[in-house]
Amino acid sequence: MQFKRDDEIIRQGEQGNAFYILYEGELDIVKDGAKIGDIKASSSHESAMYFGEKALLKSDVRAATVKVVSSTAKVLTLDREKFNNLLGSLENLMARSDAQKGPKILRKDLTKIGLLGCGGFGTVELYEHTQTGSTYAMKALSKGYIVKTGMQESVMNEKFILMMTNSDIIKLHETYNGSQSLYFLLECALGGELYATYNRKGLHGSEKHCKYYVAGTTFAFEHLHERNVIYRDLKPENLLLTEKGHIKLTDMGLAKFVIGKTYTTCGTPDYFAPELISSTGHTKAIDWWTLGVLIFELMSGHPPFESAYPMQIYTKVMKGINKVTIPPKCGGTTGELIKALLKSEPGERLPMKTNGSELLKTHKFFSGFDWGKMKSLQVEPPYKPVVKSKKDLANFCARKEDMPKQLEYHDNGTGWDKDF
């Protein structure tokens, strides 16, 4: 917006619900008729100043008037509702900022302990901070592969989303930009992947375990959806256990900030929703579909639409859950919840209706489950992994021979990674 001399952008005593960024011009701050300060910004010097930010916390009267004293002033404005839609509440951002305060963790102060996992783009390794003894998971992504597959925007998006989130999601501590790789320094969860844990311990079919892990995933989805982020990659491999047995969602590589619909086809075929297959566009409803698939898999030992080839999976998905033979462990209230989530019409999925995820929490499947205690980590995890120390890699089985080969990266001068 452009203002002219003597325009009042904010008036003392009025109700405020927006904050402002001045990127060109000069403003005076006036309280009770007396000047108490000024704000200046110049586009030529690439400077900008913000003001009125307290209105993002609560509706309150303005404490002072902000008046244009230059011939013109260029100002950006964002109200509380739009700010919350884009970034989440300012309270949450402030809480996250407070939680992240402390000395910066330098890459040179980290010592590698061992391999946690491998993927097509890179590796996840356990590192120890030499000064504090704390351990972290370092996710390294090859720049060569990122550029070759055109994933530059996706990787930058992953960093942005991790900076926005906390709660039941693996926490981001630092990022580093190397000559050949980009690095995410993440919270480590040494209890291992849920997928490996279920197979190793034979937990399939346990309603107690299923409720606990689905509840944790529900909290993670709520946290993301409040920030207009769709996860899109739920599977047991992307759920990690902490040393105490708490569940954490990991890997934001396919997560995306979306208002409205998005049309990118991505994810794991066994977890594809109908709208993904038909390319009609998808919303956060796709995550609730994947939660239904997860419940089925945790209870039965296999996903509902499982087939040898992706096209066969897609055919089954389009026919719907009612054409699937339901195993005994997925019957009763469990089956009712699965079917309430695996609705072909996105808007009909249980958490997409009025009252949202509260309908899921009050479903008969969760009868007697204490969501309040679960949220405050007071529910005893149904399985506590054996973790002997913060350097214990025993719950992971990645091998060095599985590590992807480096694809040499040559800087093309576009600066795509400058903000990493």
Band of residue 376 on the pLDDT scale cut at 50, 70, 90: very high
Q: For 19, phi and psi rounded to 5 degrees?
A: -120, 165
Band of residue 78 on the pLDDT scale cut at 50, 70, 90: confident
Band of residue 36 on the pLDDT scale cut at 50, 70, 90: confident
Kindly list the domain boundaries of the chain, sorted by start residue.
2-85, 107-189+390-402, 202-375
Mean pLDDT of the chain: 90
Give whole-number Cα distances, 111 to 175, 396, 398, in Å: 16, 19, 19
Token pair listed for 298: 């945790």
Instruction: Please name the amino acid found at residue 236.
Output: P
Give whole-number Cα distances, 392 to 111, 138, 199, 385, in Å: 15, 15, 20, 11
> With respect to CATH, is domain 2-85 assigned 3.40.1410.10?
no
- Residue 98 annotated among the catalytic residues of the structure: no
Token pair listed for 151: 């994933």
Looking at the domain 107-189+390-402, which fold is it?
Answer: Phosphorylase Kinase; domain 1 (3.30.200)
Burial code of 38-57, b = ≥16 C-beta within 10 A, e = fewer?
A: ebebeeeeeeeeebbeebbe
In angstroms, rounded to a whole number, what is the distance separating the alpha carbons of residues 294 and 300?
10
Band of residue 95 on the pLDDT scale cut at 50, 70, 90: low
Q: What is the pLDDT of residue 90?
A: 56
- Which residue of the set 32, 60, 233, 402 is catalytic? 233
Band of residue 31 on the pLDDT scale cut at 50, 70, 90: confident
Band of residue 320 on the pLDDT scale cut at 50, 70, 90: very high
Of residues 49 and 191, which shows the higher confidence score?
191
Q: What is the pLDDT of residue 83?
A: 65
Band of residue 252 on the pLDDT scale cut at 50, 70, 90: very high
Band of residue 186 on the pLDDT scale cut at 50, 70, 90: very high
CATH class of this structure's domain 202-375: mainly alpha
The rounded Cα 25 to chain-centroid distance in angstroms is: 37
Per-residue pLDDT tens over the stretch 114-146? 999 987 678 999 999 999 999 999 999 999 999
Q: Do domains 107-189+390-402 and 202-375 have the same CATH topology?
A: no
